[in-house]
Amino acid sequence: MDAVAALTEIAFWLERERATTFKVQAFRKAADLIAGLPPEELAARRRDGRLKRTKGIGDRTFEVIAQAVDGGVPDYLADLRERGATPLAEGGHELLAGLRGDLHTHSHWSDGGSPVEAMVDAARMLGREYLALTDHSPTLRIANGLSAERLSEQLDLVATIDAGNPGVRLLSGIEVDILEDGTLDQTPELLDRLDVVVASVHSKLRADSRTMTRRMLAGIEDPHTRVLGHCTGRLLSGSRGARPASEFDAKRVFAACADHDVAVEINARPERQDPPDELIQLALDAGCLFSIDSDAHAPGQLDFLQYGAERAARNNVPAERIITTWPVDRLLAWSRRGK
């Protein structure tokens, strides 16, 4: 098989298994190193030892390339494919099959690890019909949030990629910070141009309930907001450690979401599981729509939708109230109304 494809697919499966970034990047960097080589040149370098001596090609990546050049599926990839045949989540399979898209993803433009094109390729492999690119907004400097100028540049890139990628619709978007005063962290003019706006709180997460509620309500009431991202901000595990859920008046917040037609995100990242089950039930009772999103920061993490589908099914969220089950034309008519 194609050696670049083998290395790239290995990286995908490792990301899906939440392997360390260092391990994943070894395969992606090796793929970049050989991407421009004709098959005959790659085979020659493998035979005469130059490939083995190439900086950035280690023992494992050399083995993968060599086995691909020899015409077979590399052993390491075959093993990962076998492991990947086991679902990540035990339940929610019927609901997962009905998910058409993903409205919360990140690329290396902010704090993701891969180019936009790699995210789209992985979405295609997973059978997604659409994917929204939602890199961070400027105030979140630790995540390399996009200034107005960079977001404008990214919009041009999104249009170019979307035009050249039949089969997966790439939507323009942003995960915009809800600032302390409740305003959204990007210019209204740019927000007007986007297909999807996910609004989230990323700072002062330990504020008192009254302060946090007021902040969230203002963000929800902004007419640009279409999805309320990871509403509690909690972390159950992971490299950043654990973090308790923010305190806010959930009944008021979800009532506002229902009134303003803002979907509540069921964030599928396993370390978040946000909202907690009891808040999903409150949002259901309030009449909210939902969006099951991966919050992927790497191509393999797009498959985290399995975890979100399992939680939604466990909480009896009806498929018709999940906007990521909608066809893209219906989704865009809903998300861009009034623009």
Task: Identify the pLDDT of residue 239.
Answer: 74
Task: Identify the pLDDT of residue 156.
Answer: 98
Exposure on the CB side of residue 254, measured as CA atoms within 13 A: 22
| Two tokens, residue 141 | 């400097």
Cβ atoms of 104 and 294 within 8 Å: the answer is yes
Other C-beta atoms closer than 10 Å to the C-beta of 336 total 15
| Two tokens, residue 297 | 């920061």
- Rounded alpha-carbon distances, angstroms, from residue 298 to 14, 28, 118: 10, 11, 9
Task: Identify the pLDDT of residue 252.
Answer: 98
CB burial of residue 202 (10 Å; 0-12, 13-18, 19+): buried
| Two tokens, residue 165 | 């990628």
Task: Identify the pLDDT of residue 47.
Answer: 95
**What sections of the chain are H helices per DSSP?**
3-16, 21-34, 39-48, 50-53, 59-69, 75-84, 93-98, 116-125, 148-163, 188-193, 209-221, 250-259, 277-286, 305-314, 328-335
Task: Identify the pLDDT of residue 224.
Answer: 98
Residue ranges of the chain with per-residue pLDDT less than 50:
none
Task: Identify the pLDDT of residue 247.
Answer: 98
- Rounded alpha-carbon distances, angstroms, from residue 199 to 25, 137, 202, 220, 265: 30, 10, 10, 8, 10
**C-alpha gyration radius of the chain:** 21
- Phi and psi dihedrals of 322, rounded to 5? -105, 110
Residue 125 is which amino acid? M
| Two tokens, residue 175 | 């995960």
| Two tokens, residue 5 | 């494809």
